[in-house]
Structure 1
Amino acid sequence: MNRIVKPIDAIVRSMLLLGITLSLSIIGGCSLYQYGPSSLYRSDVRTVHVPIVRNETFRHDLGPRLSLAIVTEIESRTPFKVVSDPGADSTLLVVLTSENKNVLSETSSDDPRALDATLTARADWVSRQGEKLFQNTVAPNSGSVISFSQDSRLVPEAGQSIDTAMQATIEKLAQRIVSQMELRW
């Protein structure tokens, strides 16, 4: 019986050693690996300060509306927490540079039939230490702010107004700006 116990003890010991080795390699090998939606974003940033968007257009209400849309997008899509403290881990600075309406087609009496409402903005995301956090895929390591332009179509004959089209444009622009906060592969 003693001869049978020794091989079983050796098998149990080798299985235990194999299990411990495998566990340590899994834990050690995956310690820096991130998974899930949070892997799309920087792990060194937890808070974002979003000051009111500076507005260089003649429509005074666009800056606060875009600010609110950006804050809503960050809170709903990213793991970051928006704070009012300028000493946050990072700051997202946005400047609204232009607002435009382009007539696409007219009726026979020169009334606009279809229009495009367009907004253009510049955005810069910087860390507390001044490091640029946006990763521009077109010009990597450019170190400059990124320009965004977004438009929405409106048809007044269908009951749409410039305000509804502008709100749709603001929401799409906020989505595009927040999408740039994702890490590039």
Structure 2
Amino acid sequence: MNGIVKSIDAIVRSTLLLTISLSFVGGCSLYQYGPSSLYRSDIRTVHVPIVRNETFRHDLGPRLSLAIVTEIESRTPFKVVSDPAADSTLLVVLTSENKNVLTETSSDDPRALDATLTARADWVSRRGEKLFQNTVTPQSGSVISFSQDSRFVPEAGQSIDTAMQATIEKLAQRIVSQMELRW
């Protein structure tokens, strides 16, 4: 009798172990966790051409391109490559650049200003599929517009160049954030 109980106990244990093992292998095979779960698993490489610049400040396109590449490399599992035949291409166009005066001194000198950049971005797979998932209009397939500004105060020693660099970095962060999958 004692031998039968031991063999039944061994069968129950092995069945339980097998069930648990199969649930880990089969049930969770598509589940992703960690930061990589925020991004598409079918895309590994991204081609980022130099940002096309429609403004009068010629240096903004290369500066935004560098900021976008840095953001993609540091925050996503994607690898930025120079090959146009990459898994995907991120196309960005700078459409406007403004400097707006917010406050002035009594002698009409600018006291506080905003440096603003506006851009359009489109992320496309090698097959032509639109990859951005805009939450406002799902599956719209349209280019997403971005606008970003940074405040600066010349009286405090801040310049348009430092404000514009801060704006470029924030704009790059916002564009790369749109590469995340929506839940």
Same fold (TM over 0.5): yes
Q: CA deviation at 1:65?
A: 0.1
Cα gap change, 1:25 to 1:109, in 2 (>3 Å): same
Per-residue deviation, residues 120-175 of structure 1 (Å, max 9, x unmatched): 00000000000000001011111110000000000000000000000000000000
Q: Which moved more, 1:7-16 or 1:88-97?
A: 7-16
Paired positions, count: 183
Deviation per CA, 1:6-64: give whole Å up to 9, x if none. 5566556655665xx22112210000000000000000000000000000000000000
Runs of 4+ in 1 over 2 A off after TM superposition: 1-18
What is the match of residue 39 of structure 2? 41
Partner of residue 8, structure 1: 8
Residues 1:164 and 1:7: Cα distance change in structure 2 (over 3 Å): same
Which residue does 1:146 correspond to in 2?
144
* Pair 156,27 (structure 1): closer, same or farther in 2 beyond 3 Å: same
* Deviation at residue 2 of structure 1 after TM alignment: 6.7
CA distance in 2, matches of 1:102, 1:23: 63
Task: Deviation per CA, 1:63-90: give whole Å up to 9, x if none.
Answer: 0000000000000000000000000000
Look up the SS of the partner of 2:13 in the other structure. helix
1:15 and 1:93 mapped to 2: Cα distance? 54
| Distance change in 2, residues 1:10/1:73 (3 Å) | closer
Closer, same or farther in 2 for the Cα pair 1:179/1:17, shift >3 Å? closer
Identical aligned residues as a percent: 93
TM-score (norm 2): 0.94
CA distance in 1, matches of 2:35, 2:78: 12
- Determine the C-alpha separation between the residues in 2 that align with 1:168 and 1:96: 16
Q: Which runs of 5+ in 2 are unaligned?
A: none
Instruction: Flag the 1:27–1:161 CA change in 2: closer, same or farther, 3 A.
Output: same
Cα distance in 2 for residues equivalent to 1:84 and 1:43: 20
Mapped partners of 1:88, 1:113: distance in 2: 47
108 and 22 in structure 1: CA distance in 2 versus 1, 3 angstrom threshold: same
1:124 aligns with 2:122: yes
> Secondary structure in 1 aligned to 2:3?
helix
Using the alignment, how far apart are the partners of 1:6 and 1:167 within structure 2? 73
SS in 2 for 1:85: coil
Q: Name the CA shift for 1:100/1:2 in 2 (closer, same or farther; >3 Å).
A: closer
Distance in 2 separating the partners of 1:115 and 1:174:
21
Structure 1, unmatched stretches of 5+, are none
For 2:179 and 2:145, the matched residues in 1 are separated by 14
TM-score between the two structures when normalised by the length of structure 1 = 0.93
**Is the alpha carbon distance of 1:9 and 1:176 closer, same or farther for their aligned partners in structure 2, counting shifts above 3 Å?**
closer
